Structure 1
């Protein structure tokens, strides 16, 4: 298998997308795959997890740290940047088995060429450390100057987020300490430089700039070079914030000094060994389809790169650590699309993701209270403390330039069901009920209270309904009885009932819990769940959906007056049609497939797929998984590949109205994994035992992976007509 991706040549229009495609990270930070000489107009970023800032009325978003990777060549008074200077050759490479980014560029200068080679990684051993190797090979004798240091002119979408960036020099270190606008949090970046002794090489710091207005601190290294000889230096960069430790500056300085003492090769070896341990549990082997195997494992690379292993309570943003898109907020994506990968391969990370939700329960209860409801209404776009970063005006009208009122924050009530689903799934696969006593049980019951306070009953009707919601299909806002939402709310009531029935009660709590039990049982029994139509077998997505205009996706697309026009909302081109953004009913049927026979599954799959724009990267995997459950693996395959290649291609939706939404797609990565493991391999629990059911697409000879279940590790091997699930003995 090939664990490397390459980009040959340079096309400026692709630079933004390549920043996502060639991302490296370690869960604490994500480093976009831009070049070392890039300045903020080319979207370089060292994106940090769990720390946010807001400026004025702009959207609150995560921080990009001052860029300690900044490096440019200065030859005969001219700075060399790939986007601005002539070059003879250029290659970018990502080793996604080990999270190593490399580039090689041949610049043309007046006297000859200079080859610039770099290699960098975000350490998987120490989450605060970046290491960079720089090599120059000139074709001529003469002088080359290298400008390298920390660039505090940071790319922001809704910034600038740093009121000040103070730079300085301390002995052999240079540093920059940035102060945020909103809370005066600090981000400290330090750099130590190692210049090995090389015969014929002279390197000296000629100048250092520490002017605050420049927000940069730079070393100028003058090298007297000889033709065809290599000149190498190393940079060790630390990043700490004041949220990490009170001694963030001292620890940052100490880390880079220790890294320099240990040396680049030793750090790289440890980093690669750490990656190998992760792949020993998570690599997926597909015999007969290298394209699929490479795309799938590339997807898993991205999930590994953004896993918050440095924390006991932190989640993953919808765009991972690829930048500030979607405000660095946590959506339902994490529980419904990413969780299974970690649950099956690294359960401790899955617990960290769920602890984030438990620890932000206070924020969820406050949000519910703000709307006049009981219980816990989780943030649609969750930042620290459960703060909902979702704006009431989340899309910009491309014609007027004015913000458009949207209702994602108010009406996507299904977010709390995702939290409950994640907690229950974790308990089911790990058997670790400590999560319940650590706040998980309270979270589930508070979510059930929220939904109970939303129920509507007509005077002469026994059924409960849920009005004025938005389902996964965001193109249709404020609908009644969305099938997915109602069924997931019933799941929430059932989970709360199970917990209340199992709890040992003291007398003081007995009356309250008895009342809750009666209420939740009544709600679960009488909540309206849309059923398949007797004639067609189709489950109506929401009340009145069947009365909408039935028109093709292409026809709706043809009605656009602007390529970035938003399809949904009150006046969107899709809002009065049956065209939907992403899997909605099909998502519900995937989660509760045992409740429907195969004919009903197929009819709904065949009905909704042609009417789905797939305007979200979350969509394809759901259609793929339901196709597998209809014994249609070959029809599932293109959707699987679309998910697995979400970050490998050059396309992808980059805009919602005038809002930039580019970045990586970790939910699609998780969806590709779920499709392979739970779709093609048919992995499932049956009477508390792991089972697999082969549904391999054409050309696949076998599918092989490991799964952790109830603390034991299993090897799953699936061929066309056979599935083996074997416990791995220590």
Structure 2
């Protein structure tokens, strides 16, 4: 399989998409696939995990570090740089086996042709470090000025976030420190450069930049190369300081670029040894799937014990760098099966932000834990009451994502229970997970309503996964997930070991009675005479317009489909899988024909306005033994960051970036859908439904601290135990 994606032309309109598509990352930082000479207008970014800032009334968002890769050339005194200079030739590529971005660009000058080449990566073995090689070649004796250093005038969506930028040079190291507006957090960026040729070097400083001017005259056809090593750390990194940063730079410079690259690639190979999926018979699917896995590996917080993954990964500040339900419901399984330590970190983040969830519940008048819809550090909910801008008036539009998407707390419980089940590791429950489950159950119990003449509990005024219909009653998915939370809490509390741990803090017997009663009597819509489960009360009475009809009612291409005045709000057209997601999670509760009927009913009515949607239809199609119908939805997920198109705007709000939830959904579809893999009570089972043309799948999975090699073919399945997983947690 070819592990390279390539772009062989320059197109200014594609700068944003290429930045996402060719992202390099290591979990600590993500480097957008942009050219070294780009300024903030072209959206370059070194996006940092877990550190945020807010300026004025703008949205709180993650920080982009000062751009330590900023580099450009001048030839005979004239600057040559994209996008302002038209290139003669341009190529860029990403080796997604090893997370290495490279480019080659030729410019025609007054006296001949000059070519710049670069290669860079976010070090996988030392996540604070970045390495780059940059070279210049000319077919004439060119007078070259190569400028390289740190650009502090960074791209921000709701910035600028650095109130002050301080730069200096000391013993060949350039340093810039940014101090944030909100809390005075600091971001330090240091770089050092080695040149393999005689040159003149001078320091050039500006208000927001500090650069080296490297001047030389080329020999015809000779390549002039610099090697740059950089270190990024913040005030959040308690084990990092200036002394350690300088030491790391010295070691890296002494080792040289090739040695750094070798160590980096070796670390990537370790990851692929347990993550790669081989598909015999469909190279396009295999490449798309492994490219999706690359993005998950690029944003995995391997450096942290309690950090999660934002909805847009580390591709920028979109969605405020916040953690959504995407992590638990779409990404978690990949890490459970390939790197349980990372899976634990994702869920430990939720356990450690329980306090924020309980504060949110109190604010809205509820009990227990109401988790943030857009979670930042400490569980702070970054979600605004006005998340969409009306395209006609330019005014913020009231949305209810923050206060009515109750299913987020259930996603947290689902993740905790699934982690415990697949890994067998009880420590997460011991370290706060048990309390988290109980408080989420308390939250849902405080939501329950009962009619004076009714005998069941209901949950009103919610938004389900389908965000086009707001403030509905008895959303099927939300109610079923609430039941799951009640059942999980009751099951844990009836266990003598867990009861003994918690009975000094909670009235255990009363909670068990309460949660079992709630689970037994919560309202769940039953299939109607045609086998269809109503998504929420009154859904069946909405206008049954087609997606094309509804799209035809748009007056503006960026108009939001949902909300009070959205074109889909009074129709049966939904944004993404809702009932289908519920059926995918609990298929054993329904007859196979019910699963199929609901798939066939809801799919034509689903606009798939979210990249989360396709994988749920793909997985349910597999459960209905319809691999042919599942396949295009699988490919939609697997190629979400490879193909053009996709929604980049919600109203006037930019929402572009990578799609790690779709990547996780592609993995789930391949392994759990087509492969039929399940892990129950420590036993790995398969029930494969391979698509047409797939002769064989090969992959590895972890379960209960054992790693297995799995091979699924047309003639059967072979599962081989390979040994223990080396895990700190297990």
- Identify if the C-alpha distance between structure 1 residues 23 and 338 changes in structure 2 by more than 3 Å, giving closer, same or farther: same
SS at match of 2:263: helix
Q: Which moved more, 1:680-689 or 1:536-545?
A: 680-689
- Tell me the CA shift for residue 250 of structure 1: 2.6
SS at match of 1:728: strand
- Identify if the C-alpha distance between structure 1 residues 511 and 232 changes in structure 2 by more than 3 Å, giving closer, same or farther: closer
What's the counterpart of residue 654 of structure 2?
Answer: 660
- Tell me the CA shift for residue 206 of structure 1: 2.8
SS at match of 1:84: coil
Rounded to whole Å, the distance in 2 between the matches of 1:66 and 1:423 is 37
The C-alpha deviation readout for 1:531-588, integer Å capped at 9, x for no partner, is: 111x110000000000000010111000000000000000000000000000000000
- Tell me the CA shift for residue 508 of structure 1: 6.3
What's the counterpart of residue 79 of structure 2?
Answer: 79
What's the counterpart of residue 222 of structure 2?
Answer: 229
> Does the 8 Å CA contact 2:25/2:31 hold for their aligned counterparts?
yes
1:205 counterpart = 2:201: yes
Q: Which moved more, 1:410-419 or 1:75-84?
A: 75-84
What's the counterpart of residue 567 of structure 1?
Answer: 561
- Tell me the CA shift for residue 412 of structure 1: 0.1
> Does the 8 Å CA contact 2:421/2:681 hold for their aligned counterparts?
no
What's the counterpart of residue 716 of structure 1?
Answer: 710
What's the counterpart of residue 162 of structure 1?
Answer: 162
Rounded to whole Å, the distance in 1 between the matches of 2:92 and 2:591 is 49
- Identify if the C-alpha distance between structure 1 residues 577 and 221 changes in structure 2 by more than 3 Å, giving closer, same or farther: same
> Does the 8 Å CA contact 1:314/1:352 hold for their aligned counterparts?
yes
SS at match of 2:88: strand
> Does the 8 Å CA contact 2:422/2:681 hold for their aligned counterparts?
no
- Identify if the C-alpha distance between structure 1 residues 507 and 123 changes in structure 2 by more than 3 Å, giving closer, same or farther: closer
Q: Residue 621 of structure 1: which of 615, 623, 638 is its match?
A: 615
Matches within 5 A, 1:496-535: 496-502=489-495, 503-505=498-500, 509=504, 512-533=507-528, 535=529
What's the counterpart of residue 147 of structure 1?
Answer: 147
Q: Residue 595 of structure 1: which of 563, 571, 589 is its match?
A: 589
Rounded to whole Å, the distance in 1 between the matches of 2:158 and 2:305 is 29
The C-alpha deviation readout for 1:81-133, integer Å capped at 9, x for no partner, is: 12111321110010000000000011111111111000000000111000000
Q: Residue 338 of structure 1: which of 331, 337, 340 is its match?
A: 331
> Does the 8 Å CA contact 1:16/1:43 hold for their aligned counterparts?
yes
What's the counterpart of residue 69 of structure 1?
Answer: 69
What's the counterpart of residue 34 of structure 2?
Answer: 34
What's the counterpart of residue 474 of structure 1?
Answer: 467
- Identify if the C-alpha distance between structure 1 residues 326 and 351 changes in structure 2 by more than 3 Å, giving closer, same or farther: same
1:638 counterpart = 2:632: yes
> Does the 8 Å CA contact 2:76/2:142 hold for their aligned counterparts?
no
Rounded to whole Å, the distance in 2 between the matches of 1:434 and 1:308 is 19
- Tell me the CA shift for residue 511 of structure 1: 7.6
- Tell me the CA shift for residue 425 of structure 1: 0.3
Rounded to whole Å, the distance in 1 between the matches of 2:180 and 2:590 is 53
Rounded to whole Å, the distance in 2 between the matches of 1:508 and 1:126 is 44
What's the counterpart of residue 321 of structure 1?
Answer: 314
SS at match of 2:632: helix
- Tell me the CA shift for residue 721 of structure 1: 4.4
What's the counterpart of residue 96 of structure 1?
Answer: 96
Rounded to whole Å, the distance in 2 between the matches of 1:504 and 1:613 is 46
- Tell me the CA shift for residue 717 of structure 1: 1.3
> Does the 8 Å CA contact 1:188/1:252 hold for their aligned counterparts?
no
The C-alpha deviation readout for 1:349-400, integer Å capped at 9, x for no partner, is: 0000000000000000000011111100000000000000000000000000
Rounded to whole Å, the distance in 2 between the matches of 1:296 and 1:277 is 18
Rounded to whole Å, the distance in 2 between the matches of 1:153 and 1:293 is 40
Rounded to whole Å, the distance in 2 between the matches of 1:587 and 1:398 is 31
1:7 counterpart = 2:7: yes
What's the counterpart of residue 363 of structure 2?
Answer: 370
What's the counterpart of residue 411 of structure 2?
Answer: 418
SS at match of 1:337: helix
What's the counterpart of residue 290 of structure 1?
Answer: 283
- Tell me the CA shift for residue 479 of structure 1: 0.3
- Tell me the CA shift for residue 509 of structure 1: 3.4
What's the counterpart of residue 180 of structure 1?
Answer: 180
> Does the 8 Å CA contact 2:149/2:211 hold for their aligned counterparts?
yes
1:391 counterpart = 2:387: no
The C-alpha deviation readout for 1:502-532, integer Å capped at 9, x for no partner, is: 1243896398111111100110010111111
What's the counterpart of residue 728 of structure 2?
Answer: none
Rounded to whole Å, the distance in 1 between the matches of 2:241 and 2:501 is 46
Rounded to whole Å, the distance in 1 between the matches of 2:506 and 2:294 is 50
Rounded to whole Å, the distance in 2 between the matches of 1:442 and 1:611 is 39
SS at match of 1:614: coil
Rounded to whole Å, the distance in 1 between the matches of 2:719 and 2:415 is 24
Q: Which moved more, 1:713-722 or 1:470-479?
A: 713-722
What's the counterpart of residue 115 of structure 1?
Answer: 115
> Does the 8 Å CA contact 2:9/2:91 hold for their aligned counterparts?
yes
- Tell me the CA shift for residue 686 of structure 1: 4.9
Runs of 4 or more above 6 Å deviation: none
- Identify if the C-alpha distance between structure 1 residues 686 and 168 changes in structure 2 by more than 3 Å, giving closer, same or farther: closer
Matches within 5 A, 1:543-554: 543-554=537-548
> Does the 8 Å CA contact 1:14/1:650 hold for their aligned counterparts?
no
What's the counterpart of residue 350 of structure 1?
Answer: 343
The C-alpha deviation readout for 1:413-457, integer Å capped at 9, x for no partner, is: 000000000000001100000110010000000000000011000
SS at match of 1:420: helix
> Does the 8 Å CA contact 2:281/2:694 hold for their aligned counterparts?
yes
- Identify if the C-alpha distance between structure 1 residues 521 and 508 changes in structure 2 by more than 3 Å, giving closer, same or farther: closer
TM-score by length of 2: 0.98
> Does the 8 Å CA contact 2:144/2:218 hold for their aligned counterparts?
yes
Rounded to whole Å, the distance in 1 between the matches of 2:203 and 2:353 is 48
Rounded to whole Å, the distance in 2 between the matches of 1:511 and 1:692 is 40
Rounded to whole Å, the distance in 2 between the matches of 1:506 and 1:149 is 55
- Tell me the CA shift for residue 248 of structure 1: 2.7
> Does the 8 Å CA contact 2:279/2:696 hold for their aligned counterparts?
yes
> Does the 8 Å CA contact 1:694/1:721 hold for their aligned counterparts?
no
Rounded to whole Å, the distance in 1 between the matches of 2:718 and 2:540 is 44
SS at match of 2:74: strand
The C-alpha deviation readout for 1:653-673, integer Å capped at 9, x for no partner, is: 100000000000000000000
Rounded to whole Å, the distance in 2 between the matches of 1:441 and 1:124 is 34
User: Please, what is the CA RMSD of the aligned residues?
Assistant: 1.2
What's the counterpart of residue 577 of structure 1?
Answer: 571
> Does the 8 Å CA contact 1:487/1:588 hold for their aligned counterparts?
yes
- Tell me the CA shift for residue 726 of structure 1: 2.2
- Identify if the C-alpha distance between structure 1 residues 162 and 520 changes in structure 2 by more than 3 Å, giving closer, same or farther: same
> Does the 8 Å CA contact 1:135/1:232 hold for their aligned counterparts?
yes
1:728 counterpart = 2:722: yes
SS at match of 2:560: coil
Rounded to whole Å, the distance in 2 between the matches of 1:371 and 1:578 is 30
